[in-house]
Amino acid sequence: MTTDARSHRPSLGEEAYVALRRLLLEGDRYAPGDKVPVVELARELGVSRSPMWDAIARLEAEGLVEVAPRHGVFLVRFDARRLAEIYETREALEGMAARLAAERAGLADVAALERSLAEQRDCLDRADATAYADAALAFHQAVLRIADNATIARLLEALYAQTRAMCRGMPTTPGELAVRRDDHAHLVAAIRARDPDRAEQVARVHVRGLAAGAGRASPPPDLPRRRRGRE
């Protein structure tokens, strides 16, 4: 292996971080507040404790896990007040991202967003809430790429992950999903029209709707593990 190839190889800590993050955010293995078995997962992922704890430190900084001395590591628990604060922050950041996207989008960007809308519609037609959650997240990430602001993107990606981890299993009705998809369509229309004011307004209203839905759907003590959660 050449020196150049070695220099581009991910570190064990980076590999552990990516693998552990995927385990916590995807599938139904862990519910909000669950203890994360660090030693067991280190063996499963084939890494030593050192890179595993490096990964956990990064996830703690992102707000995805909570480390309790002498008690262990836990996936972030559901916290209504914290979730409300996350949505307040998301409203401001997503509003600005939408404004920038409307100012900077090209024809290819709009076409990509329209393909995402079609994918979301297909998920709704199939009544696949998990696939819709994935498609909706990809839509928001596409808007961030068009906005082309690395700071906003970094902050929102962390907030998206926290929302997804905290709200896993919260039920969402088909009607709620349809409203969200319509919000996305209105946002694409504003971006296509290069209307920053309208794009920001639509994005803010959309996030307020997500927050209201989360507030009405606080999880029961025995959280079901069938869906990955909200946008």
Q: Look-up: residue for tokens 């707000």?
A: 63
* Contact (CB, 8 A) for 222 and 24: no
Helical ranges in the chain per DSSP H: 3-7, 12-25, 38-45, 49-61, 80-104, 107-125, 129-147, 150-166, 174-192, 196-216
pLDDT of amino acid 156: 96
Burial of 15 (0-12, 13-18, 19+ CB in 10 A): middle
Rounded CA Rg of the chain? 19
pLDDT of amino acid 214: 81
pLDDT of amino acid 189: 98
Task: Give how far the C-alpha of residue 219 lies from the chain's centroid of Cα atoms, to the nearest Å.
Answer: 18
Q: Look-up: residue for tokens 């956990």?
A: 56
Which residues pair with residue 73 across a beta bridge? Answer: 36, 67
pLDDT of amino acid 173: 87
pLDDT of amino acid 65: 94
pLDDT < 50 regions, the chain = 1, 3, 5-7, 220-229
Which of 220, 171, 229 lies closest to 24, judged by CA? 229
3-state secondary structure of 10: coil
* Contact (CB, 8 A) for 177 and 124: yes
pLDDT of amino acid 220: 43
Domains and CATH numbers, the chain: 3-75 (1.10.10.10), 80-216 (1.20.120.530)
For 170-176, the CB contacts below 8 A with 24+ separation are 170/214, 170/217, 170/218, 170/219, 170/223, 170/227, 170/229, 170/230, 171/217, 171/224, 171/227, 172/129, 172/213, 172/217, 172/227, 172/230, 174/124, 174/127, 176/213
Q: Look-up: residue for tokens 């909000």?
A: 32
Q: Using alpha carbons only, what angle is made at residue 170 by residues 173 and 129, rounded to the nearest 5 degrees?
A: 50
pLDDT of amino acid 229: 47
- Tell me the whole-structure pTM to 2 decimals: 0.81
pLDDT of amino acid 134: 92
